[in-house]
Amino acid sequence: MGRLRAKPDKCTGCNLCLLACSFNFTGEFTPHLALMRVERRRDGLFFQPVTCGQCENAFCLRVCPSKAVNREEIVKIDTNNCTGCGLCAEYCPWKVIVLREGTAYKCELCQGQPECVKVCPTGALELEAV
């Protein structure tokens, strides 16, 4: 399936990606509920979209005691097996795994059609084959 590639030189910080992500995930246009973030860098001079890096040697997968984190085409969390311990979120180098109501969630690329990529007006996000 791939992973998301961010191009900070093209990001304007418009946060449309966060709106699309949160709506796809929760049904609400609420940026702080998105499974990604946009960081302001260098006194707001440029922006960096941050999402799951689909790590080759994923710490989240290795530390999960319930084996809820697995890799098929991409790293995913089986929410039915998740105990909500938070180790995956703690060890994520990107800090993009979130705990909500006792369950861990992360970007799973919208089943191969990432909404954030679709709405980005500048092309700052793209789906990259791995």
Sketch out the chain's domains with CATH numbers.
Answer: 1-51+111-130 (3.30.70), 56-106 (3.30.70.20)
**Predicted pLDDT of residue 45:** 81
**Predicted pLDDT of residue 2:** 86
Token pair recorded at residue 38? 């946009």
pLDDT band at 85 (very low <50, low <70, confident <90, very high): very high
Q: Is the entire prediction scored with pTM above 0.85?
A: yes
Looking at the predicted structure, is the pLDDT value of residue 44 above 80? Answer: no
Distances, alpha carbon 20 to alpha carbons 38, 74, 81, 90, 115, in Å: 13, 20, 27, 25, 6
pLDDT band at 7 (very low <50, low <70, confident <90, very high): very high
Token pair recorded at residue 1? 């399936």
Backbone angles phi and psi of 84, in degrees to 5: 75, 20
Average pLDDT over residues 36-52: 89
Backbone angles phi and psi of 65, in degrees to 5: -70, -20
**Predicted pLDDT of residue 41:** 84
Nearest to 33 by CA among 100, 129, 80: 100
pLDDT band at 16 (very low <50, low <70, confident <90, very high): very high
pLDDT band at 95 (very low <50, low <70, confident <90, very high): very high
Backbone angles phi and psi of 25, in degrees to 5: -80, -40
Looking at the predicted structure, is the pLDDT value of residue 43 above 80? Answer: no
- Would you call 28 exposed, middle or buried from its count of C-beta atoms within 10 A (0-12, 13-18, 19+)? exposed
